[in-house]
């Protein structure tokens, strides 16, 4: 079963509640948090997560593109995040472990994310502890970028690790996912697809979500 996580980075922030209700057929709401340091862009943070929490029953999938996320994971959990993902590049291995422990202590799900240039093996220190691994299929920082098909061998490699070591773990891809590229992702073993512009630019959003689910 393929899950769809529309990214609200492509929503109209002046009408965020309305735009979240438009994706009620999805499986997760993907929330891109950017600090202007880990990535060259600034988006939304803790107060916005708190405000959108009552607007939807869908789980909030909070993608932290921030430096040293261990400093903030508890606040994102308290604000209403259900699944909090941290980039392995954003801190030491020890601190990423601490972030995962803190997220679990709040009763929430934890995940790790890898940027395009980071090898698949970088998830191995965390694979037994997380509920989700996210593979970036664009350089993080902006919506609407071109899908990097050359990330598919990495998705396949991580799928093999997951099947061998933690079969319940979800495998998510993020960046440039549309009705064509989604097929490459699912064929490579991804089961959660983040899609920002391809969902929010669609004339019929529920139909687009069904199309991506395949």
Ligand X SMILES: O=C(CO)[C@@H](O)[C@H](O)COP(=O)(O)O
111-140 binders of ligand X (CB under 6 A): 138, 140
Among 67, 197, 206, 213, interactor with ligand X by CB under 6 A: 197
Known binding residue 142? Answer is: yes
- Given strand 109-114, what is the order of strands in its sheet? 3-6, 192-195, 170-174, 132-136, 109-114, 83-87, 60-65, 29-34
Nearest approach, Cβ of 22 to Fe ion (angstroms)? 18
> Contact between 86 and ligand X (CB under 6 A)?
no
| 29 beta partners | 60
C-beta of 5 vs 73, nearer to ligand X: 5
Nearest approach, Cβ of 164 to ligand X (angstroms)? 27
- Active site includes 67? no
C-beta of 29 vs 169, nearer to ligand X: 29
146-185 binders of ligand X (CB under 6 A): 174-177
> Contact between 100 and ligand X (CB under 6 A)?
no
Count Cβ atoms below 10 Å from residue 163 Cβ, excluding itself: 12
Among 3, 26, 62, 63, interactor with ligand X by CB under 6 A: 63
Catalytic residue chosen out of the listed positions 27, 35, 174, 178: 174
> Contact between 141 and ligand X (CB under 6 A)?
yes
- Active site includes 174? yes
Q: How many residues bind ligand X (CB under 6 A)?
A: 22
- For residue 14, CA distances in Å to 18, 51, 98 come to 9, 13, 35
Among 195, 202, 205, 212, interactor with ligand X by CB under 6 A: 195
Known binding residue 141? Answer is: yes
Tokens 């090898």 identify what position?
119
Which among 53, 3, 55, 63 is positioned nearest to 28, based on CA atoms? 3
Catalytic residue chosen out of the listed positions 19, 32, 91, 178: 32
Which among 6, 176, 200 is positioned nearest to 184, based on CA atoms? 176
Contact of 144 with 126, CB cutoff 8 Å? no
Tokens 């202590």 identify what position?
105
Binding site residue list for substrate: 7, 63, 141-144, 174-176, 196-197
Residues acting as catalytic residues: 32, 174
Instruction: Write out the residues near ligand X by the rule CB under 6 A.
Output: 7, 9-10, 30, 32, 63, 138, 140-145, 174-177, 194-198
């Amino acid at each position: 079963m393929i899950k769809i996580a529309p990214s609200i980075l492509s929503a109209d922030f002046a009408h965020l509640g309305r735009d979240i209700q438009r994706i009620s057929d999805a499986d997760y709401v993907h929330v891109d948090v950017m600090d202007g340091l880990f990535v060259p862009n600034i988006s939304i943070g803790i107060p916005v997560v708190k405000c959108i929490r009552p607007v939807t029953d869908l789980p909030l999938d909070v993608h932290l593109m921030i430096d040293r996320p261990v400093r903030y994971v508890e606040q994102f959990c308290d604000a209403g995040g259900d699944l909090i993902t941290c980039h392995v590049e954003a801190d030491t291995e020890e601190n990423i472990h601490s972030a995962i422990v803190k997220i679990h202590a709040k009763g929430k799900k934890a995940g790790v994310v890898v940027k395009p240039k980071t090898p698949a093996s970088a998830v191995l220190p965390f694979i037994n502890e997380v509920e989700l691994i996210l593979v970036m299929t664009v350089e993080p920082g902006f919506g609407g970028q071109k899908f990097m098909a050359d990330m598919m061998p990495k998705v396949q490699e991580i799928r093999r690790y997951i099947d061998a070591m933690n079969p319940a773990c979800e495998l998510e891809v993020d960046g440039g996912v549309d009705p064509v590229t989604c097929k490459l992702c699912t064929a490579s073993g991804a089961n959660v697809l983040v899609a920002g512009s391809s969902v929010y630019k669609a004339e019929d959003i529920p139909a687009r979500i069904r199309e991506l689910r395949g």
